[in-house]
Amino acid sequence: MFAKTARGDWLLFAIFTAVVLAAPILFAPIGAGYPDLLQKFAIYGLFAIGFNILFGLTGYLSFGHAAFLGVGSYATVWMFKLLSMNVLPAVVVSVVLAGLFALLIGYVSLRRSGIYFSILTLAFAEMSYKLAYSVLTPITNGETGLQVRNLAKAGVVNFQHGDLRILDRAFGVVEHGVPMSNLFGIKMSGWPGFYFCAAALIIGFFIAMRISRSSFGMMLRAIKSNQNRLNYTGVNTRPYLLAAFVISGMYAGMAGALLAVTDPLAGAERMQWTASGEVVLMTIMGGAGTLLGPVLGASVIKYFENIFSAINENVLHQVFSWLPQGVQDVVVSILSLFVGEGWHLTLGLLFMLIVIFLPGGLMEGLGRIVSLFKRGKAASDAAQNGQEA
């Protein structure tokens, strides 16, 4: 199924891996070199990579991928409660359950295409959100959210006062204070949590790269190019679409699991339509159909969310304290619309500019910059050769 990975792909993968692992150093100058934010870069980058397998390769736009993100989070917390605070069983089960849920939704939604497919996925996501918020309260704990507790007393299966955690109890794991997710004793908070998420991102990127270069990926691109022509030639495209939908859902489930790994809590808000819209923005902003674009788009959006949203009027007054008081008040009142709670306005303007001037996303912009350097180098070489002649 997988085509042989070209030398260029190996180079791309090596550079990507190096950048991800060195992120704490590389992003420190822009105020993003701390573990909590870098974890979000990795988690939502993985989410966007998976979404790109569906949207970027097939052209099928799903507005319901947040449902799989929520399923991954809930499944992870339940595995923490039932089995162990070790993250490996939780992550594996979460990815499998998200894939099965995606299989169910995809089987129904892919009976339609275009806007009808998008609306169906949105309807399923909203239905999942409402179920998690109210109807399935015994499983999801409703608006309060699902969280882990200390071990229940031996022989007592009562989740109101504690969790069961069969594996931890069997191996004699002793708890001290609030239960924390761990990888064989290494707590998944701070830098260990980031590097666990980074490892998942690197693996997810490699799998997506292999899928993109495989015959399966070529078939997905053919579907995006002209699905009707494939149908006329007798090719049944639905199994390929369903496979892409399930793989994409499993990526989302993995991202949801990592959210619960770094913060053992699951809430219904992760299933809201806004979360599905966010991953669409990430993919389009970075460059749909590219390998690096979704990760780049996710990083930009999460950077804006965490950095720009933290800027308030007091900070602006300090920055522009050198201005006369009247002018300072005017400048702060205008800029405050674009930061703090209004950071979405800045993101919206940035998204509009990218869509208008860079339809291919940020990756198109990087490509133009590289082309300019190549043309400049070629012109310089030609001039030098002319002088030598």
Spell out the residues 6+ positions from residue 363 whose beta carbon is closer than 8 angstroms to its own: 286, 287, 290, 292, 293, 296
8 Å CB contact between 84 and 170: no
- Give the model's pLDDT for residue 342: 81
Q: Which domains are seen in the chain, by residue range?
A: 7-310 (1.10.3470)
Q: Is 35 left (phi over 0), alpha (psi -120 to 50) or beta?
A: alpha
Tokens 């350097």 found at: 373
**Percent of the chain at pLDDT above 70?**
94
Tell me the average pLDDT across 170-199: 87
Weakest-pLDDT range from 149-153, 218-222, 306-310: 149-153
Tell me the average pLDDT across 122-147: 90
Q: What mean pLDDT value characterizes the chain? A: 88
For the record, the structure tokens of 216 come out as 């399966």
Give residue 168's Cα distance to chain centre: 30
What Rg do the C-alpha atoms of the chain give, in angstroms? 24
**Residue 165 burial (C-beta neighbours within 10 Å; 0-12, 13-18, 19+):** buried
- Give the model's pLDDT for residue 2: 47
- Give the model's pLDDT for residue 191: 92
Q: What is the pLDDT of residues 262-281, one digit of tens each?
A: 998 898 888 988 889 899 99
pLDDT at 159 over 70: no
For the record, the structure tokens of 357 come out as 């001037």
CA–CA separation, 178 vs 265, rounded Å?
A: 13
What single letter denotes the amino acid at residue 322? W
- Look up the pTM and report it: 0.91
pLDDT at 379 over 80: no
- Give the model's pLDDT for residue 353: 87
Tell me the average pLDDT across 305-326: 84
CA–CA separation, 20 vs 38, rounded Å?
A: 9
- Give the model's pLDDT for residue 3: 47
For the record, the structure tokens of 338 come out as 């674009």
- Give the model's pLDDT for residue 1: 44
Q: What is the pLDDT of residues 20-79, one digit of tens each?
A: 999 999 999 988 888 999 999 999 999 999 999 999 999 999 999 999 999 999 999 999
CA–CA separation, 2 vs 19, rounded Å?
A: 25
**Residue 119 burial (C-beta neighbours within 10 Å; 0-12, 13-18, 19+):** middle
For the record, the structure tokens of 129 come out as 């959100």
For the record, the structure tokens of 305 come out as 């969310």
Q: How are beta strands 182-183 and 146-147 bridged, if at all?
A: unpaired
Tell me the average pLDDT across 313-318: 84
pLDDT at 386 over 70: no
CA–CA separation, 196 vs 142, rounded Å?
A: 29
Q: What is the pLDDT of residues 135-158, one digit of tens each?
A: 889 899 888 889 888 887 655 555
- Give the model's pLDDT for residue 156: 54
Q: What is the pLDDT of residues 322-360, one digit of tens each?
A: 888 888 888 888 888 888 878 888 888 888 888 888 888
